[in-house]
Amino acid sequence: MITKVDIINRILDGRQALPCQSDADAFAPANIALCKYWGKRDTELNLPMTDSLSLSLGSLGSRCRLRLEDGDRDQVALNGEALAGDHPFVTRLSAFLDLFRGPNRHHYRVDTTNTIPTAAGFASSASGFAAIVKALDQLHGWSLPDRERSILARLGSGSASRSLWQGFVIWHAGSAADGMDSFAEPLPQQWSDLCIGLLVLDSGKKSIGSTAAMRRTVETSALYAAWSAKVASDLVEIRQAIDSRDVDALGGAAESNALAMHATMMAARPPVLYWQESSLAAMRQVWEARQDGLLVYFTMDAGPNLKLLFLEKDRSAVMQRFPITCC
């Protein structure tokens, strides 16, 4: 079986293990998938079943400051709070850093600040691991190409592969067993008046993590067999909508894609249900707004919160109806 260590050794290809500077500071934006990825063909390497396409959240994401630590373990702070060594965030982060320590097994001090709720379906792990990879590359002076950095970020969190850039980003699922053809890259199209608004309904930790929820969905949902075809169709429609800057087509496809993903999860045994009563109420409000002539759509990831898509000209009208944070 190909492991993460195999992939990292191939990418680093003899580059130095020790840092070449005292510290590093990097930011990565969170991203919201307009065409979702849900399900892995390889859980060790975080290889997805399908392509996906996302839009970044601008200044909302993760900032990581990284430097060497003289002690015998990593020291980690999240949003200014030092975390115990057995904290789940520290455990996951240290396991990822284990892959980069080199023969002398050096440790790191990591200060991460999230400007987006953590573990609430807002892709904080995506921006977090992308920021860490950026900081590692900077600290060690590797100067890796973007494709390789995207692959490294993917090893920490699948959607982190898309969080290296602003704007629209496509993640190619690839088909190779080693995953070297599974990476993200930015799309050239710009859409300056397209807005995303975050509708925070519950900022608490979600009931089941994405990895476990994906596994259950893939293994038990009778609807999963249709998911790949749905993604392929939606991806074409979304890319065409981006090309023509058609918010109605983009929002309709993104909303349909999100609802299909959640329907597929709900058909798992036992069901995976991230919706809350407030989530459904907010969806109804979006549909009512469209009936009133306001072009606003939602998408929803692995959590109860909604992300609204609309144009800049409608920002005031959308904010009158919804208590959103705009990106």
User: What integer pLDDT is reported at residue 121 of this predicted model?
Assistant: 45
Given 186, 215, 234, the domain boundary residue is 186
What is the SS3 assignment for 170? strand
Q: CA 303: distance to chain centroid?
A: 12
What one-character DSSP code corresponds to residue 313?
Answer: G
Q: Are residues 101 and 228 in the same domain?
A: no
Torsion angles phi and psi, residue 190, rounded to 5: -115, 145
Residues 212 and 262 in one domain: yes
- Residue 165 shares a structural domain with residue 233: no
CATH of the domain at 268: 3.30.70.890
Residue-level pLDDT at 102 = 76
Q: Tell me: do 177 and 278 sit in the same domain.
A: no
Q: At what angle do helices 124-140 and 146-156 cross, to 10 degrees?
A: 130
pLDDT of residue 70: 86
Partners of 111 in beta bridges? 65, 77
Mean pLDDT is lowest, of 106-120, 142-156, 185-199, for 106-120
- Same domain, residue pair 221 and 115: no
* Pairing status of strand 194-199 against strand 325-326: antiparallel
- Please check whether residues 280 and 182 belong to one and the same domain: no
pLDDT of residue 120: 43
pLDDT in tens, 211-240: 899 999 999 999 999 999 999 999 999 999
Mean pLDDT computed over every residue of the chain: 94
- pTM score: 0.94
If asked whether residues 48 and 170 sit together in one domain, one would say: yes
Report how far residue 212's alpha carbon sits from residue 231's, in angstroms, rounded to the nearest whole number: 21
Residue 134 vs residues 125, 167, 326: alpha-carbon distances, Å: 14, 18, 25
3-class secondary-structure state, position 22: coil
pLDDT at site 119: 47
The 3-state DSSP class for residue 201 equals: coil
Task: Check which CATH number belongs to the domain holding 150 and give it.
Answer: 3.30.230.10
Domain boundary among 155, 186, 217: 186
| pLDDT tens, position by position, 92-128 | 999 999 999 877 788 999 999 998 765 444 557 899 9
**pLDDT tens-digit series, residues 49-79:** 999 999 999 999 999 999 998 888 999 999 9
How far apart are the C-alpha atoms of 239 and 237, rounded to whole Å?
6
- Give the per-residue pLDDT at 129: 96
Domain residue limits at 50:
4-186
Together in a domain, 136 and 96: yes
The mean per-residue pLDDT over the stretch 241-260 comes to 98
Q: What number is the average pLDDT over the span 239-255?
A: 98
Answer yes or no: do 24 and 155 share one domain.
Answer: yes
What is the Cα–Cα distance from 299 to 211, expressed in whole angstroms?
A: 20
pLDDT band at 17 (very low <50, low <70, confident <90, very high): confident
Give 57-118 as a DSSP string: EEEEEEEEEEEEE-SSS-EEEETTEE--TTSHHHHHHHHHHGGG-TTTT-EEEEEEEESS-T
Number of domains forming the structure of the chain: 2
Q: Are residues 206 and 104 in the same domain?
A: no
DSSP state letter for 267? T
pLDDT at position 325: 86
For the ranges 68-82, 167-181, 182-196, the lowest mean pLDDT is seen at: 68-82
From 130, 158, 186, give the residue that closes a domain: 186
Using CB atoms within 10 A of its CB, is residue 143 exposed (0-12), middle (13-18) or buried (19+)?
A: exposed
Least-confidence region, from 3-12, 102-111, 254-263: 102-111
Q: Report percent pLDDT > 70 for the chain.
A: 98
Residue 203: predicted pLDDT: 79
149-154 average pLDDT score: 98
The whole-angstrom separation of Cα 119 and Cα 157 is 12
Q: Which residue has the tokens 């293990």?
A: 17
Q: Are 226 and 248 members of one domain?
A: yes
Are 135 and 270 within one domain?
A: no
Question: Which DSSP helix (H) or strand (E) runs through 185?
Answer: strand 184-186
Find all residues with CB under 8 Å of 253, minimum gap 6, and list them.
34, 35, 234, 237, 238, 241
The mean pLDDT value for 142-170 works out to: 97
pLDDT tens-digit series, residues 296-322: 999 999 999 999 999 999 999 999 999
Q: What is the pLDDT of residue 118?
A: 55
Residue predicted with more confidence, 10 or 69: 10
